[in-house]
Structure 1
């Protein structure tokens, strides 16, 4: 039987994933957080686990740093094992340019791993070059 996470466990799990993979831009620990059948849809673009790993490697090549605000919204549906988050990402590119992107993400969990993620992104400073950050490949 697959263990279900409660609201606080899911928050701790997701914070760890963001710390290790998004902020740390570490693709080596992705399998610790995601199922092999992982599917992500970001701004209408669908990708699998291999494409997500490539996305993280591309972020590491393009970005100097990534910081994530505390979640401004966090809703967890325990029976469905889904977490809905809203947060802001501050990015600095290696060329020194900075920008902010707001994200809304819905995660479907399967045990202590992520099965699916649906994500919408919006650059807050209207710089077109930051629109692709969420789906850089």
Structure 2
């Protein structure tokens, strides 16, 4: 049986995942955080674990740095192991172009790994340059 995470344990886990995978753009540690059957839907684009790894590699090619604000919204439904987050991502692309994207993400956890993620992204005042950053492939 998979370990059930408490609200604070889930928050710690998600913060570590964001630090390592998203901010660090490190595709080599993805299996530590995500189940092999992982499914992500971002702005209607569905991807599996291999496609998510490719997305992280593409970010590393196109993006100089990513910073994530503290979560402005965090709820956790402990019985069903589901976390909902809202936050702002500051992105600096290679070449210096800067932008911000607001994200709302719902994570379904399975033990100490992520089973599914559903995300909605919205660029903040940068037009088309950052429209697809969350689903870059």
| TM bin (shorter chain) | over 0.9
Give the count of matched residue pairs: 137
Q: Hey, what's the Cα distance between the residues in 2 that align with 1:128 and 1:71?
A: 25
Q: Hey, what's the Cα distance between the residues in 1 that align with 2:107 and 2:69?
A: 18
- Structure 1 equivalent of residue 39 of structure 2: 39
The structural deviation recorded for 1:126 is 3.5
- Structure 1 equivalent of residue 113 of structure 2: 113
Whether the aligned pair in 2 keeps the contact of 1:3 and 1:111 (CA below 8 Å) is yes
Q: Hey, what's the Cα distance between the residues in 2 that align with 1:31 and 1:80?
A: 22
**Gaps (5+ residues) in structure 1?**
none
- Structure 1 equivalent of residue 50 of structure 2: 50
Whether the aligned pair in 2 keeps the contact of 1:102 and 1:121 (CA below 8 Å) is yes
Map residues 1-137 of structure 1 onto 2, 5 A cutoff: 1-137=1-137
Whether the aligned pair in 2 keeps the contact of 1:99 and 1:127 (CA below 8 Å) is no
Whether the aligned pair in 2 keeps the contact of 1:45 and 1:135 (CA below 8 Å) is yes
The structural deviation recorded for 1:28 is 0.2
Q: Hey, what's the Cα distance between the residues in 1 that align with 2:18 and 2:43?
A: 19
TM-score, reference length from structure 1: 0.99
**Gaps (5+ residues) in structure 2?**
none
Question: CA offsets per residue over residues 49-86 of structure 1, 9 Å max, x none?
Answer: 00000000000000000000000000000001000000
The structural deviation recorded for 1:127 is 2.0
Q: Hey, what's the Cα distance between the residues in 2 that align with 1:68 and 1:45?
A: 22
